[in-house]
């Protein structure tokens, strides 16, 4: 039987409905998402917390960091940096990076590894005090401790893992590798499936972009990205809608009527999977959204940390939200005009109340 002919309205409802599923437990949500992008900015909270609050029942700011040591996840690089399911994390290791360490650098790494193995869990300051590696130029052109950069490199290579954070600082332990027993091609396909499960429905160009970004998670297989992409295009369900080929996971039905509209407002993190793909955003909602936190203030159009404002299945505007003296202060903007219906006003008040509870400004 031929697949039903899709349209953009159905794809939009599908994109919203499949990602903003009914709130569940933190463990179940992380299992379902596979990966949550992290960002250090707090405006009004970190991106990982803003992403999880819509999907985890009773979630409060900081819950991910507080529960991290007991969760089946790892801090690691996937298509970008964040929190990845532990089984996915193990699929990406051992990594063979493009930058080969010198003999002297490798010697330092082995010495630090032995130190961490003996200590159990270490802070960067302990490593710096013990080895006194000096200072180096960091990625931003400033100076940082060489030990901190070495620990970052050891973490990325899979020699160390992040045990937890204290005051935002990583604490490290030796990482144990758990081989999957799968061949590289099967592993690569599984990693692509994690991407598609999180960001679907994906335009063909966005699928290609994300497979390209996967080179950061599996640099040892970067030369196989094209083959990885070609296999994905052949095995994933797809359909051409308005001249664009869209992909989604096997077994899902984008035209299902269960992807309906809810009278609900949601303020989304700039990295939320619903809005992460700016190409898809513009195709589904008809306007260009940009993250402007690192744009000079005078050149910003919508604000430092403008969060897309989702009403039903339409992103109709944005909000910059701050918390001052225990009060939530939203600054709203709209692509056109704010909806005049009472349902929107009620839903917006509900969302701002949920945001205040999430930020621990008031009780539920």
Asked if 156 and 78 touch (Cβ cutoff 8 Å), the reply is no
Biggest CA pair distance of the chain: 68
141 three-class SS: coil
Query: Hey, where are the domains in the chain?
Result: 103-174, 265-358
- Beta-carbon contacts of 220 under 8 Å, excluding residues fewer than 6 positions away, are 94, 95, 96, 97
> Is residue 38 left, alpha or beta, with left meaning phi > 0 and alpha meaning psi from -120 to 50?
beta
Alpha-helical (H) ranges within the chain are 8-19, 26-33, 47-52, 63-67, 86-91, 103-119, 124-131, 146-156, 184-199, 204-213, 225-235, 278-285, 342-358
Q: Which residues pair with 169 in a beta bridge?
A: 166
Tokens of 255: 């035209």
Q: Which fold has domain 103-174?
A: Arc Repressor Mutant, subunit A (1.10.10)
Query: What pLDDT tens digit does each residue of the chain (364 aa) get?
Result: 456 789 999 999 999 999 999 999 999 999 999 999 999 999 999 999 999 999 999 999 999 999 999 999 999 999 999 999 999 999 999 999 888 899 999 999 999 999 999 999 999 989 988 887 556 555 545 555 778 899 999 999 999 999 999 988 999 999 998 998 999 999 999 999 999 999 999 999 999 999 999 999 999 999 999 999 999 999 999 999 999 999 999 999 999 988 777 899 999 999 999 999 999 999 999 999 999 999 999 999 999 999 999 999 999 999 999 988 889 999 999 999 999 999 999 999 999 999 999 999 988 7
């Amino acid at each position: 039987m031929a697949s039903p002919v899709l349209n953009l309205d159905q794809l939009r409802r599908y994109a919203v409905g499949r990602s903003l599923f009914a709130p569940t437990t933190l463990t179940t949500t992380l299992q379902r998402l596979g990966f949550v992008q992290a960002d250090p900015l707090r405006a009004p909270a970190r991106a990982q917390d803003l992403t999880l609050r819509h999907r985890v029942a009773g979630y409060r700011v900081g819950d991910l960091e507080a529960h991290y040591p007991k969760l089946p996840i790892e801090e690691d690089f996937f298509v970008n940096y964040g929190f990845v399911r532990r089984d996915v994390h193990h699929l990406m290791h051992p990594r063979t990076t493009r930058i080969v360490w010198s003999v002297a650098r490798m010697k330092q790494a082995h010495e630090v590894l032995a130190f961490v193995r003996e200590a159990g869990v270490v802070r960067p300051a302990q490593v710096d005090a013990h080895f006194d590696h000096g200072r180096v130029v960091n990625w931003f052109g400033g100076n940082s401790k060489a030990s901190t950069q070495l620990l970052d490199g050891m973490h990325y290579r899979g020699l160390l893992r992040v045990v937890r954070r204290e005051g935002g600082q990583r604490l490290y332990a030796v990482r144990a590798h758990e081989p999957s027993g799968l061949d590289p091609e099967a592993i690569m396909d599984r990693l692509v499936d994690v991407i598609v499960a999180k960001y679907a429905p994906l335009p063909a160009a966005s699928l290609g972009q994300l497979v390209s970004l996967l080179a950061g998670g599996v640099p040892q297989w970067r030369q196989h990205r094209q083959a990885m992409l070609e296999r994905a295009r052949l095995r994933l369900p797809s359909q051409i809608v308005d001249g664009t080929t869209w992909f989604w996971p096997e077994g899902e039905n984008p035209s299902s009527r269960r992807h309906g509209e809810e009278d609900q407002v949601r303020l989304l993190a700039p990295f939320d999977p619903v809005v992460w793909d700016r190409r898809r955003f513009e195709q589904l909602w008809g306007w260009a959204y940009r993250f402007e936190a690192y744009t000079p203030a005078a050149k910003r159009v919508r604000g430092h940390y403008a969060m897309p404002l989702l009403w039903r299945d339409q992103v109709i505007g944005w909000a910059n939200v701050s918390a001052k003296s225990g009060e939530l202060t939203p600054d709203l903007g709209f692509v056109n005009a704010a909806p005049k219906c009472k349902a929107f006003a009620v839903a917006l008040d509900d969302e701002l109340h949920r945001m205040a509870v999430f930020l621990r400004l008031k009780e539920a």
